[in-house]
Amino acid sequence: MTKNPDLRTNAALSLDAYWMPFTANRQFKQAPRMLARAEGMHYWTPEGRKILDGIAGLWCVNAGHARPRIVQAIQQQAAEMDFAPPFNMGHPKAFELARRLIEIAPAGMSKVFYTNSGSESVETALKMAIAYHRARGDGSRTRLIGRERGYHGVNFGGISVGGIVANRKMFGTLLAGVDHIRHTHDLARNAFSRGVPEYGAELADDLERLVALHDASTIAAVIVEPVAGSTGVLLPPKGYLQRLRDICDRHGILLIFDEVITGFGRLGSPFAGQHFGVTPDLMVVAKGLTNGSVPMGAVFANQHIHDAFMSGPEHLIEFFHGYTYSAHPLACAAALGTLDTYAEEGLLTRGATMAPYFEDALHSLKGAPNVIDVRNIGLVGGIELDPIPGQPGKRAFDAFLHCWERGALIRTTGDTIALSPPLIIEKEHIDELVGIVAGALKATP
């Protein structure tokens, strides 16, 4: 390992060129937070400080860091075949991976289309939905429905159906023909719920309002996160997702689940669709697919959607869409190593085993300074704080900085702290993580 130069004294010199994503660049470069190494539940800084990973990197390193099967798979693949063109050509691991993914996916999800990120998966699913209706001769179904506070990545389709104002307001008119149903967050009725909240299934009926406004014959699809992550860990009220499914069925609208965060064991089942017993028509994944090791995303489709495309002359392309790096060999190898690791260690259901302990630990924060809600499901937690008047987001960001200094990596969004640790977490890690968060809440009143 190379020795780290003094990044603080050299800040202007060495940090200038990199324009960082979703980061307060000027603040960061004055006091950079660097990571140099990772293994299991931990990161290490260049100075050798050990940091407990409370967020699985960025909701993606579900099996923990530097897992041997994944490392070896990537190393071997890089030496064997670095790249294979995905258009008109194939390589065995791409097919093997799709077959293995279908085995763990919700029943009915029978085709896999590869991308390189969650954002690309979202665009792919939205295009599939519109093209599916057109392929069936129902070309007036072009409208896409998202949900307020939804996060579906950062490309134009995704921010259009997304509902986070900061991600939308700078970017002009976005995609035409998009509307949104209401979000489900309701502190007045549901604060400090353990698991899914009791109240709010009727919010799914908001889709009926949009059907009445636009007519079902113009609506292609609805996209939601089964549990919304980036917007602050918002859980679906009891019965909500089934109700959404029923309304979609009644009106011939496709239901897309964005499982970029909920996929691959986060809730204690392989996918949220299985956890809630509701199967979508299209399912979007990324992140945990390769344990965060090589960029990769995918869209799962049911047979019916796939078959609607398979109608023209056989020598013609059926779906004019794809990426240079779709089914990249390194990503396929990494994903296979990841699925092996998940299977060998039972990680896709381990979240369910650890959830009760995690839930109790999180809810011990009720009563800590400024905590106005605690939310949890599987191995995801949200701790919502009362904002400092006139400084939204600052209270949670101060807690983030405090945790970083005390040796834990957490994530904040607005004034909510999100915890989403690797699924290999043990009870003592949960105690340590929640203890550090409790300390931060006391220290930053």
The only residue of 10, 72, 324, 391 in contact with ligand PLP, by rule CB under 6 A: 324
The only residue of 45, 142, 242, 413 in contact with ligand PXG, by rule CB under 6 A: 413
- 6 Cβ neighbours under 8 A, 6+ residues apart: none
Question: Rounded to 5 degrees, what are φ and ψ at 73?
Answer: -60, -45
Residue nearer to ligand PXG on the CB measure, 260 or 282:
260
Stretch that binds ligand PXG, among 10-18, 118-126, 246-254, 358-366 (CB under 6 A): 118-126
411 binds, among ligand PXG, ligand PLP, none (CB under 5 to 8 A by kind): ligand PXG
Task: Confirm or reject binding of residue 334 to ligand PXG (CB under 6 A).
Answer: no
Task: Confirm or reject binding of residue 153 to ligand PXG (CB under 6 A).
Answer: yes
The pair of structure tokens assigned to 390 is 């006139």
Q: What is residue 154's three-state secondary structure?
A: coil
- Residue 393 identity: G
Residue nearer to ligand PLP on the CB measure, 27 or 324:
324
- Helix (H) or strand (E) segment spanning residue 272: helix 272-276
Q: What is residue 254's three-state secondary structure?
A: strand
- Helix (H) or strand (E) segment spanning residue 385: strand 380-385
Interacting residues with ligand PXG between 35 and 94 (CB under 6 A)? 58-59
CA-based nearest residue to 70, from 271, 296, 324, 408: 296
Residue nearer to ligand PLP on the CB measure, 121 or 444:
121
CA-based nearest residue to 196, from 152, 163, 237: 237
Task: Confirm or reject binding of residue 83 to ligand PLP (CB under 6 A).
Answer: no
Task: Confirm or reject binding of residue 114 to ligand PLP (CB under 6 A).
Answer: no
Task: Confirm or reject binding of residue 286 to ligand PXG (CB under 6 A).
Answer: yes
The pair of structure tokens assigned to 421 is 């640790």
Stretch that binds ligand PXG, among 31-39, 116-124, 263-271, 332-340 (CB under 6 A): 116-124
**Following DSSP, what letter does each residue of 23-81 receive, concatenated?**
S-HHHHHHS-----EEEBTEEE-TT--EEEESSHHHHT-TT-BS-HHHHHHHHHHHHH-
Residue 282: burial class (beta carbons within 10 Å; 0-12, 13-18, 19+) = buried
Stretch that binds ligand PLP, among 35-43, 107-115, 317-325, 414-422 (CB under 6 A): 317-325
CA-based nearest residue to 261, from 223, 227, 232, 235: 227
By beta-carbon distance, which residue lies closest to ligand PXG?
A: 118
Residue nearer to ligand PXG on the CB measure, 7 or 58:
58
Task: Confirm or reject binding of residue 325 to ligand PLP (CB under 6 A).
Answer: yes
Stretch that binds ligand PLP, among 21-29, 71-79, 196-204, 320-328 (CB under 6 A): 320-328
- Name the CA dihedral angle for 140, 142, 147, 153, rounded to a multiple of 10 degrees: 170
Residue nearer to ligand PLP on the CB measure, 123 or 373:
123
Q: How far is the CB of 59 from ligand PXG (least distance, A)?
A: 6
Task: Confirm or reject binding of residue 323 to ligand PLP (CB under 6 A).
Answer: yes
The only residue of 230, 274, 279, 291 in contact with ligand PXG, by rule CB under 6 A: 230
Q: How far is the CB of 273 from ligand PXG (least distance, A)?
A: 14
- Residue 245 identity: R
CA-based nearest residue to 112, from 94, 126, 127, 130: 94
The only residue of 114, 151, 257, 400 in contact with ligand PXG, by rule CB under 6 A: 151
Contacting residues toward ligand PLP, per CB under 6 A = 323-325
Contacting residues toward ligand PXG, per CB under 6 A = 58-59, 117-119, 122, 151-153, 225, 229-230, 258, 260-261, 286, 411, 413
